[in-house]
């Protein structure tokens, strides 16, 4: 809180907490006064809202600005992030002398776009094999990748970082046997996912991507158990299928537990001077040319 007096005008400046708005949704109403002032009678109030670009927000198509000075941003996107400042002007009339004093109070809101964290999935599954040195193990692994990729291509998911290792295992019940330990990652953002998302007016991560991932894992279990017969001597190990979600953020977004404590689990838009080129969890700091906008995917 800062207070200044200048030629019959009192200037009062308030700085409010951060506000987080999920992309493609409407912001909450930002109120151009503090709680104490809202309980008082205000004489001749006038409001001026200024957006991050320094322009007056009155008349802008993407805002809902009420006559009582409340502001809502509609269909919020990352480019709309930044500082929103409201200047409230009103009069204070001294009861006995009727002397008028002009009060000017400014309220600043830092508004950030955010997304829910996306989830890639780390998958592990095991298969029995006759021996670890068989060439058919590699053949089986390549064929498994082909089958899985062709199965999920229409879901616009894709498999990456796939690998396998063969281990010899000794158990009291079955003695010595050999198993292939297969690992891969399922990512919901293969080429074509943007076209799927553009068909819906909301952030498709909440519905479209989760639905596609769900379909994939339903099909995957069926394939592993009933359809993998490329090499008859290699068999799926019952109940060996396991998956672990991995948090990631969209390009231009990242997590920061220190800067955004009130939205620590959110993927918040990268601020000016930072960027995120891929699905990493953190925004990077620009070393050379500074990204001047919110949601930058590069520093240029």
Q: Where are the domains of the chain?
A: 2-115, 118-247, 249-300
CB 209 within 8 A of CB 239: no
> What's 118-247's CATH class?
alpha beta
CB 270 within 8 A of CB 283: yes
pLDDT of residue 271: 93
Q: Is 108 helix (H, G, I), strand (E, B) or coil?
A: strand
DSSP track, 161-218: EEEEEEEEEEETTTEEEEEEEEEEEEES--TTHHHHHTTSSS-GGGTHHHHHHHHHHH
Tell me the pTM.
Answer: 0.71
pLDDT digits (tens, 9 = 90+) for 7-44: 555 556 566 778 999 999 999 999 998 888 888 899 99
The Cα-based distances of 145 to 60, 73, 186, 231 in angstroms read 51, 46, 12, 14
Provide the token pair at 253.
Answer: 């977004």
205-240: burial string, b at 16+ Cβ within 10 Å, e else: beebbeebbeebbeebeeebeeebeebeebebeeee
Single out the residue of 25, 191, 213 nearest to residue 116, CA to CA. 25
pLDDT of residue 54: 94
pLDDT digits (tens, 9 = 90+) for 62-86: 999 999 999 999 999 999 999 999 9
Return d(Cα 236, Cα 185) in angstroms, integer: 19
Which residues of the chain fall below pLDDT 50?
1-6, 201-202, 206-207
In angstroms and rounded to an integer, the radius of gyration of the C-alpha atoms of the chain is 29
Options 3.30.200.100, 3.40.630.20, 3.30.2130.10, 2.60.40.10; CATH of 2-115: 2.60.40.10
The CATH number given to 249-300 is 2.10.50
């Amino acid at each position: 809180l800062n207070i200044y007096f200048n030629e019959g005008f009192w200037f009062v400046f308030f700085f409010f907490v951060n506000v987080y708005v999920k992309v493609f949704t409407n912001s909450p109403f930002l109120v151009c006064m503090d709680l104490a002032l809202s309980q008082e009678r205000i004489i001749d109030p006038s409001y001026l809202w200024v957006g991050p670009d320094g322009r007056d927000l009155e008349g802008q198509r993407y805002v809902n600005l009420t006559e009582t000075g409340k502001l809502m941003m509609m269909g919020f996107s990352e480019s709309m992030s930044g500082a929103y400042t409201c200047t409230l002007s009103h009069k204070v009339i001294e009861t006995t002398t009727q002397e008028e004093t002009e009060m000017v109070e400014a309220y600043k809101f830092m508004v950030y776009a955010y997304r829910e964290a996306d989830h890639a999935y780390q998958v592990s599954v095991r298969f029995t094999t006759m021996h670890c040195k068989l060439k058919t193990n590699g053949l089986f692994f390549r064929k498994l990748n082909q089958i899985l990729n062709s199965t999920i291509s229409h879901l616009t998911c894709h498999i990456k970082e796939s690998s396998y290792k063969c281990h010899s295992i000794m158990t009291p019940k079955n003695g010595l046997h050999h198993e292939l330990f297969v690992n891969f990652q399922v990512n919901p953002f293969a080429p074509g996912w943007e076209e799927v998302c553009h068909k819906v007016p909301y952030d498709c991560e909440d519905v479209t991507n989760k639905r596609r991932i769900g379909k994939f894992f339903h099909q995957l279990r069926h394939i592993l158990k009933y359809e993998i017969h490329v090499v008859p001597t290699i068999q799926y190990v019952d109940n060996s299928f396991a998956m672990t979600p991995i948090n990631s953020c969209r390009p231009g977004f990242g997590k920061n537990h220190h800067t955004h404590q009130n939205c620590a689990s959110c993927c918040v838009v990268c601020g000016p001077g930072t960027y995120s080129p891929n699905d990493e969890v953190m925004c990077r700091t620009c070393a050379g040319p500074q990204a001047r906008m919110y949601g930058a995917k590069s520093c240029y």
